Amino acid sequence: MIKKNLLKLPLLLGLAWVDSLFGQIPPAVPSPLADIAQRVESGCISTEQGIDGPNPQPSVRQLTAAALGMLELDRSADRAERLMRHTFSLQDMDPASPGYGTVPWQQGHPEIKDPNAIEFTMLPVGVILLRHGAKLSEAFKREVGPHVRAAIAAIRRHPVPVGYSNIYLMKLANLLLLGQAIADPAAVADGQALFDTWLSLTRMNGVTEYDSPTYSPIQADCLALACNLTQNPALKTRLKSAVDFYWSDFAANYFPGSQTMTGPASRNYNQGFVFSDANIEYSYYLAGVRSRPPGGTFLCDSVRVFTLARMGNFRPAPETLALAALPQRVIRSKFGPGPGQDRYQWITPDLALGSSSAYYGPQDRRICAELASAKKLPLITVVADALDAPYGLVRSNDRGGHSKPHHLAHLLATVQEKDFLLALMDLSPVTRPRAFTNLASNITLPVHADRLVLDGKVVDTTKAFALPANSHSVVGLREGNAALAARLFAADGAGGQTPSWSLQFDGNKEGAGRLVAHHYIGAARDLDAAGIRSGVLLMTAHCETDAEFEGFLKRVDRIKLTETNHRGIWLVTAKSGPVELQAGLNLNERKIAVRRVNGQEWKSTPLTVNGRDLAAQIPGL
């Protein structure tokens, strides 16, 4: 049981808002629900206006989201039907076509080829038919059937790996809801079978697309919509258990210092790599955990959470949300069965520090720290980069035609004990067969924290700078009572060059700087190598005075490091006080060799908080 005093959280849990939602207490200020309603209405109007011009180019998923938003706002059903008719006018309705039933990602942009468009576009349609069907005209209801049947055919044809969590869950939610809406029991059965497969995998190995501020709320919302609208009582119970699991993870990984989800993430990119995406903020805000309004304005996200909030019968339990208020937390979780597919997160009122080892994709965030602040400070992350631009502000198109930032894949072994983190990297797996003009390991830093120090000297952060550093250099940050120290203690040169270290800030408006080790800078060339290593140490502390901060930096400078490299096994031991961290990479076989804390082999679990197994305590999971 969570201690009773942690359940007495009327401000944290937004109980005043909950009462006002049901008319018990007149709200003195607009409620979170009213705030989101205004955003939904603005987005719906903008979407309507977007299809009225001579060359409409709407994002197709926003058309159906706006239709649902209008119905949730009790606006005219004619307006919602108009948006859905526009959507269906873009659908491939030729049964002989290989694209039968699909819709484009964006009207007028055939270069964007995203097969996920059908899942995103149809999710609001199932909700509309089941929740607002009585508002729709008989003529529209006769029209919609063939389009829904064609969409179900397209959704069935779309192969989605179970590990692609947000689209997999959206696919099964679509089959459950659309199938129920048009009385297609085979589609409903297909959706339930997909859910059974996902639940079996998740029970053992956690959520594959893990803790993404961009996509995790989509996953939870899909399950919650299906839970609310399914007519199958047994399935409803199991879906609720899955949503409870997500919300346990959301609450546990909430950092009050920034009022959002913190730590390693499978994907994060809408604000580059320097800030967390705002999608999850809607969920926290409407649950009463977050007091500040969300930073994003994306219509699809706001409509989903607005709809769920208006349903009124599915909010996280107070004891679940109370996890967000635990003053100190160690969260351990898994996102797969393989080596390094686990996540460790340490949260205090002042700061958060987290790590994971296995690569998910070019927008993942495997090492992350944050300092509590009223300012919008960039995240502290580790980025392997070939553009000399590690902040995610330089974007390129992915294979689907979407513009996103990308970082280099690399082999990584992390090991962490609360405020102390050791990480070993090998960048060589991505160096062939391609030419590089730049290759660097970076620790991104918020230069406008209260204090930035390099090797004991305060750095002037009012202007751009590039200061020489080395493998022994300690960079210190202090913001309020939060302190962090960083070292890039190892780096290999590449292309015949010796590595070079520096602390840099180019003057960007985001206030993101970096401690960087350049492995190579020069003319384009092949950097084929057996291993291109770098090593990172991070440590955090609570420091109330400058003297405590200086003492902390001296303690970091005294950390004892021992390195060996025998038969391709690079092994590093870092010792600070009673804590000994040990990590190793097999550079020949390109895999993690060792992860130990105080001599004990690293272990992972689906989801524990301060040693308490939350997954085991959720019925039906």
pLDDT at 496 over 50: yes
**How would residue 347 be classed by pLDDT, with cut points 50, 70 and 90?**
very high
Taking the C-alpha atoms of residue 185 and residue 234, their distance in angstroms, rounded to an integer, is: 16
Distances (CA, A) of 301 to 337, 378, 474, 486: 30, 23, 41, 36
347 and 286 fall within a common domain: no
Predicted local confidence at residue 618, as pLDDT: 82
Lowest mean pLDDT segment, chosen from 137-151, 404-418, 605-619:
605-619
Instruction: Return the HEC string of 270-295.
Output: EEEECCCCCHHHHHHHHHCCCCCCCC
212 and 106 fall within a common domain: yes
130 and 59 fall within a common domain: yes
Residue 616 included in any domain = no
Residue 542 included in any domain = yes
Residue 100 included in any domain = yes
Place of tokens 């200061």: 467
Question: Which CATH number does the domain housing residue 563 bear?
Answer: 2.70.98
The candidate with the shortest Cα–Cα distance to 46, out of 77, 69, 71, 78, is 69
Each residue's pLDDT tens digit, 167-179: 999 999 999 999 9
pLDDT at 22 over 80: no
100, 150 Cβ separation under 8 angstroms: yes
Distance of CA 335 to the CA centre of its chain: 13
Question: Which CATH number does the domain housing residue 52 bear?
Answer: 1.50.10
Domain finish residue from 277, 296, 324? 324
Predicted local confidence at residue 314, as pLDDT: 63
Residue 101 or 53, more confident: 101
DSSP state letter for 378: P
Q: What are phi and psi for residue 208, nearest 5 degrees?
A: -65, -50
The candidate with the shortest Cα–Cα distance to 259, out of 324, 319, 327, 309, is 324
Predicted local confidence at residue 7, as pLDDT: 34
pLDDT at 259 over 90: yes
pLDDT at 23 over 60: no
Each residue's pLDDT tens digit, 510-554: 999 999 999 999 999 988 777 899 999 999 999 999 999 999 999
Predicted local confidence at residue 430, as pLDDT: 81
263, 343 Cβ separation under 8 angstroms: yes
Predicted local confidence at residue 14, as pLDDT: 39
Residue 331 included in any domain = no
Predicted local confidence at residue 395, as pLDDT: 87
Residue 52 included in any domain = yes
226 and 347 fall within a common domain: no
**How would residue 290 be classed by pLDDT, with cut points 50, 70 and 90?**
very high
Percent pLDDT > 90 in the chain is: 86
pLDDT at 21 over 80: no
In terms of DSSP bridges, do strands 475-479 and 403-404 run parallel, antiparallel, or are they unpaired? unpaired
- Write out the E strands in 348-481: 351-356, 367-371, 380-385, 396-397, 403-404, 411-417, 420-426, 435-446, 451-454, 457-458, 465-469, 475-479
Domain finish residue from 258, 293, 324? 324
Residue 558 or 17, more confident: 558
Lowest mean pLDDT segment, chosen from 12-21, 203-212, 497-506:
12-21
Q: Which element (helix H / strand E) includes 251?
A: helix 233-252
Each residue's pLDDT tens digit, 545-588: 999 999 999 999 999 999 999 999 999 999 999 999 999 999 99
Question: Which residue segment(s) compose the domain that 136 sits in?
Answer: 30-324
212 and 269 fall within a common domain: yes
**How would residue 20 be classed by pLDDT, with cut points 50, 70 and 90?**
very low
Structure-block tokens of residue 157: 């044809």
> Residue 621: helix, strand or coil by DSSP?
coil
Average pLDDT over residues 363-380: 97
**How would residue 4 be classed by pLDDT, with cut points 50, 70 and 90?**
very low
249 and 201 fall within a common domain: yes
390 and 259 fall within a common domain: no
Q: What is the residue-averaged pLDDT of the chain?
A: 92
Each residue's pLDDT tens digit, 178-233: 999 999 999 999 999 999 999 999 999 999 999 999 999 999 999 999 999 999 99
pLDDT at 352 over 70: yes
Overall number of domains in the chain: 2
Residue 535 included in any domain = yes
Each residue's pLDDT tens digit, 460-486: 999 999 999 999 999 999 999 999 999
Percent pLDDT > 70 in the chain is: 95
Residue 586 included in any domain = yes
50 and 145 fall within a common domain: yes
Domain finish residue from 282, 297, 324? 324
∠ CA 151-111-102, rounded to 5°: 5
397 and 453 fall within a common domain: yes
Residue 336 included in any domain = no
Average pLDDT over residues 273-284: 94
**How would residue 619 be classed by pLDDT, with cut points 50, 70 and 90?**
confident
413 and 278 fall within a common domain: no
425, 384 Cβ separation under 8 angstroms: yes
383 and 314 fall within a common domain: no
Give the count of beta carbons closer than 10 Å to the beta carbon of residue 611.
Answer: 8
281 and 360 fall within a common domain: no
**How would residue 272 be classed by pLDDT, with cut points 50, 70 and 90?**
confident
**How would residue 29 be classed by pLDDT, with cut points 50, 70 and 90?**
low
